[in-house]
Amino acid sequence: MKGEIVAVGTELLLGNIVNTNAQYLSQKLADLGIDVYYHVVVGDNLNRLTETIKTSLERSDLVITCGGLGPTADDLTKEGVSQAMGLKLLPDEESIEKIKRMFNSTGRLMTENNIKQGYIPEGAVVLENNNGTAPGVLIEKKGKIVIMLPGPPKELYPMFENKVLPYLKAKANSTIRSKVLRVIGVGESTVEYMLKDIFDSQTNPTIAPYAKDGEVHLRVTAKTDIPEEADRLIAEMEQKVRAILGDNIYGCNEEMLEEAVLKLLQKKNLTISLAESCTGGLIASRLTDIPGASASFVSGVVSYSNASKVNILKVKEDTIKNFGAVSPQTAEEMAVGAKTLSSSDIGLSITGIAGPDGGSAEKPVGLCYIGIAAGNSVNVHKIMLNGNRNKIRWSSSSRALDFLRRELLSM
């Protein structure tokens, strides 16, 4: 099957936003074994949009659009697709009711133009949107498929996963299966070096590394006619890779580091509390982003000022005076403080310099200390990170979670 992705929106053509939807959809279609030959971006202009859809339908079996489904006069994707395919756009009572209900339930005023979102091309399937007001649309006509998705990734991703993926899986003919092994603690070039023999000899399954947010993701992909055979090939490859990378692999597929940590905590029936300085709540936020975090996560303190380290976490004033807020001694007392304050099994602390200011020759931007208090002992780890404030905050939160994970594995 030949696929094509058409993003609709003048904001893309002005360079206000980058076309991450095309990347997301491309990855998903590649996993399904659907060849993507083109991406197109077209603005909020009915003529150009209609012409674009016509061209796409001539050369591709599957056209996925994103954007332009909203309530405003600029939102023209359904109009363009309907014109290109010779379909009427009709009110869909169920969709309109749902939009009205969404406005009612949140107490917001529904303006008349919102009704437009409930108009659907004749004969099309409505894809319910649980994260916004504009429903998606799926059309099958004369062997061609057009799928229209909303533009915001928070709406597009779940709609694709829940509605489109199962539909396309049933359509795709040969089976491509893949599994991602998620690696942390070693860089991409080191992973490549460690796995050189495997990389050099790969045919089916293939294995490809991607660096992402300080992690390395290894995608193992097998292509066969029999699904079970693909699974067997992937399992064999995974075994080989695990024999070399060991505990550096923290999870698979969509599993995030914070999920892996929470799973270990739950498995070992342990609770945790945090004391964060440089990460300013990012570790707490990452952990509580996972449903069910409350089973293990008790509390977090963002002790941004020295006074809050002393008053809330009971770090000794002398410790800060003698060694500084960014020191192994402060990290240690913060970890113990967090653990004690919440009577949890483990206290995890982090203190460091995220920049851009606050660094010195002795304590440069990127220096962080991570403390882990468990039972009667505390381990403190020192790390040095590169990059801007954002990157340092993210990487240090990941390293803290990874140190915790490795400690939990050995408990």
Instruction: Name which of residues 287 to 346 contact a second copy (CB under 8 A).
Output: 287-289, 291-294, 297-305, 307-308, 311-312, 341-343
* Residue 174 makes contact with a second copy by CB under 8 A: no
Looking at beta carbons only, is 31 or 87 nearer to a second copy? 31
Residue 202 touching a second copy (CB under 8 A)? no
At closest approach, how far in Å is the CB of 305 from a second copy? Answer: 5
Give residues 213-242 in contact with a second copy (rule: CB under 8 A). Answer: 213, 217, 219, 221
Among 189, 204, 322, 360, binds a second copy (CB under 8 A): 189
Q: Which H/E stretch holds residue 276? A: strand 272-276
How far, rounded to the nearest angstrom, does the alpha carbon of residue 366 sit from its chain's CA centroid? 24
Among 282, 335, 368, 400, binds a second copy (CB under 8 A): 282
CA distance 316 to 293: 31
Minimum gap (Å) between residue 137 Cβ and a second copy: 19
180 binds a second copy (CB under 8 A): yes
Q: What torsion, rounded to 10 degrees, do the Cα atoms 261, 265, 266, 268 define?
A: 130
> Is residue 52 a contact point for a second copy (CB under 8 A)?
yes
* Stretch 108-137 residues interacting with a second copy (CB under 8 A): 108-114, 130-132
The answer to whether residue 97 forms part of the interface with a second copy (CB under 8 A) is no
Assigned token pair, 382: 């020192």
In one letter, which amino acid is 17? I
CA–CA gap between residue 404 and residue 387 (Å, rounded): 23
Assess whether the previous peptide bond of 205 is cis (omega < 30° from 0): yes
Cα separation, 225 vs 229, in Å, equals 8
Strand partners, 351: 369
Contact 150, 12 (CB under 8 A): no
Question: Residue 410 corresponds to which tokens in the numbers above?
Answer: 């050995």
Number of chain residues interacting with a second copy (CB under 8 A): 120
Shortest approach of a second copy to residue 145 CB, angstroms?
18
Q: Which of residues 12-41 bind a second copy (CB under 8 A)?
A: 12-20, 22-28, 30, 36-41
- Interface with a second copy, residue 212, by CB under 8 A: yes
Neighbour tally for 124: CB within 10 Å: 24
Q: Output DSSP code: residue 365.
A: T
Is residue 160 a contact point for a second copy (CB under 8 A)? Answer: no
CB of 123 to a second copy, least distance (A): 27
Chain positions 133 to 152 lying near a second copy, rule: CB under 8 A, are 152
By CB under 8 A, is residue 170 in contact with a second copy?
no
Interaction between residue 255 and a second copy (CB under 8 A): no
Binding mask 386-405 toward a second copy (x if CB under 8 A, else -) reads xxxxxx-xx-----------
For the CB of residue 194, give the shortest distance to a second copy in the complex, in Å. Answer: 9
- How many CB atoms lie under 10 A from the CB of residue 236? 13
The residues with which 221 forms a beta bridge, in sequence order, are 178, 206
User: Measured from the CB atom, is 87 or 114 closer to a second copy?
Assistant: 114
Q: Kindly indicate which of the ranges 43-51, 164-172, 222-230, 402-410 contains the residues binding a second copy, using the contact rule CB under 8 A.
A: 43-51
- Could you tell me the smallest distance in angstroms from the CB atom of residue 72 to a second copy? 5
Residue placing its CB nearer to a second copy in the complex, 180 or 264 = 180
Residue 124 Cβ, how far from a second copy at the closest point, in Å? 22
Q: Which of 158, 160, 120 is nearest to 139 (CA)?
A: 120
CA distance 290 to 297: 11
| Residues from 54 through 93 that contact a second copy (CB under 8 A) | 55, 70-74
User: Does the footprint of a second copy cover residue 105 (CB under 8 A)?
Assistant: yes
- How far does Cα 239 stand from its chain's mean position? 26
Q: Does 379 bind a second copy (CB under 8 A)?
A: no
How far is residue 77's CA from residue 49's CA, in Å, rounded to a whole number? 7
Q: What angle do the packed helices 46-59 and 77-85 form, to 10 degrees?
A: 50
Collect all residues with Cβ–Cβ distance below 8 Å to 86 and sequence separation of at least 6.
none
- Minimum distance between the CB of residue 342 and a second copy, rounded to whole angstroms? 6
**Stretch binding a second copy (CB under 8 A), from 83-91, 106-114, 140-148, 231-239:** 106-114
Residue 324 near residue 330, CB atoms below 8 Å: yes
Q: Are 404 and 373 in contact (CB under 8 A)?
A: no
178 binds a second copy, rule: CB under 8 A? yes
